[in-house]
């Protein structure tokens, strides 16, 4: 079964809107795990507008499944990851003012930069993943860089799914097989939801984990957090 890692950034955004500690991010993470999720994802940004660096430190102490920390490998981010020692670090090329992730790494252009960052994390026994678009030469370079996994940026798939799901997934299928052949693990995330997740998970070879935040937390407003986590898990079950 493909693992579900729930991104809890949006819960932190609600908390930060009023100050204080409502909703309690740590309790939410614990509850999400108890509802069946196999991981917790956070993406602390430099302005700490949602998840804060201290949140990451606190979460490492209480997450019992897997903690995945996403971010651009600036010096501060690298230092945080080395301090916290999460189960996985996912490198994402976000500019400081980005509202959300909007592209994968150009692993050809940023080859040396990413190779250096990945080497630091692997030296410290932290599983590594690179956020990437389904472009063959970038997949090949990711393997050369030495990352353990790639995470497919799935916005194009999500945007195209309702009009032509076969076209939407085509590039991901071929690049996923390429990644498998190169020995890379495969994660995926961005705009995956209850409508498009099952088809993606059923079709994609080698998929190990999806990271879902915005859609899942939004659905929880209607269905409740416990029920929503279980609904997403059902989409990932193989029949």
Q: Tell me the pLDDT tens digit for each residue of 168-200.
A: 999 999 999 999 999 999 999 999 999 999 999
Strands (DSSP E) contained in the chain are 3-7, 39-42, 67-71, 88-91, 127-132, 149-153, 185-189, 207-212
Instruction: Report the Cα–Cα distance between both ends of the chain, in Å, rounded.
Output: 10
Residue 196: burial class (beta carbons within 10 Å; 0-12, 13-18, 19+): buried
Report the alpha-carbon distance of residue 208 to residue 195 in Å, rounded: 19
Q: Tell me the average pLDDT of the chain.
A: 96
* pTM greater than the 0.75 cutoff: yes
- Burial degree of 30 (CB within 10 A; 0-12, 13-18, 19+): middle
**Considering only CA atoms, which of 205, 144, 203 is closest in space to residue 168?**
203
pLDDT score of 75: 96
Q: What are the residues whose beta carbons fall under 8 Å from the beta carbon of 227, sequence distance 6 or more? A: none
Q: Give the model's pLDDT for residue 98.
A: 58
Predicted pLDDT of residue 68: 98
From the candidates 33, 66, 190, 209, which is the catalytic residue? Answer: 190
Model pLDDT for residues 69-115, shown as the tens digit of each residue: 999 999 999 999 999 999 999 999 986 665 566 789 999 999 999 99
What are the tens digits of pLDDT across the range 28-82? 999 999 999 999 999 999 999 999 999 999 999 999 999 999 999 999 999 999 9
**Both tokens of residue 231?**
């609904």
| 109 included as an active-site residue | no
Stretch 140-167: mean pLDDT, rounded?
Answer: 97
Please name the CATH architecture into which domain 3-235 falls.
Alpha-Beta Barrel (3.20)
Taking residues 227-236, what's their average pLDDT?
A: 98
Active site residue: 33, 70, 151, 155, which one?
70
- Rounded Cα distance, 222 and 224, in Å: 6
- Cβ count within 10 A of residue 182: 13
Q: Where are the domains of the chain?
A: 3-235
- Given the residues 33, 43, 50, 151, select the one marked as catalytic: 43
Rg (CA), the chain: 17
Calculate mean pLDDT across residues 210-238. 97
For this structure, is 190 an active site residue?
yes
Is 43 assigned a catalytic role?
yes
């Amino acid at each position: 079964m493909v693992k579900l890692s729930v991104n809890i950034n949006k819960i932190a955004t609600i908390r930060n809107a009023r100050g204080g500690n409502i909703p309690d991010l740590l309790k939410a993470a614990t509850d999400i795990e108890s509802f069946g999720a196999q991981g917790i994802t956070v993406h602390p940004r430099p302005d700490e507008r949602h998840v804060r660096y201290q949140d990451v430190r606190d979460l490492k102490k209480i997450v019992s499944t897997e903690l995945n920390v996403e971010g651009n490998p600036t010096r501060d981010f690298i230092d945080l990851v080395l301090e916290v020692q999460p189960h996985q670090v996912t490198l994402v090329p976000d500019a400081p003012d980005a509202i959300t992730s909007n592209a994968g790494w150009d692993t050809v252009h940023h080859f040396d930069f990413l190779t250096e960052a990945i080497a630091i994390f692997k030296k410290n026994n932290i599983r590594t993943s690179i956020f990437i678009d389904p472009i063959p030469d970038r997949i090949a370079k990711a393997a050369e860089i030495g990352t353990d996994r790639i995470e497919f940026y799935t916005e194009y798939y999500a945007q195209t799914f309702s009009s032509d799901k076969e076209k939407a997934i085509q590039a991901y299928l071929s690049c996923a097989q390429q990644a498998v052949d190169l020995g890379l693990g495969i994660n995926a995330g961005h705009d995956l939801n209850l409508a498009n997740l099952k088809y993606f998970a059923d079709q994609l070879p080698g998929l190990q984990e999806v990271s879902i935040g915005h859609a899942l937390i939004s659905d929880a407003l209607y269905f409740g957090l416990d029920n929503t986590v279980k609904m997403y898990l059902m989409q990932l079950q193989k029949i």
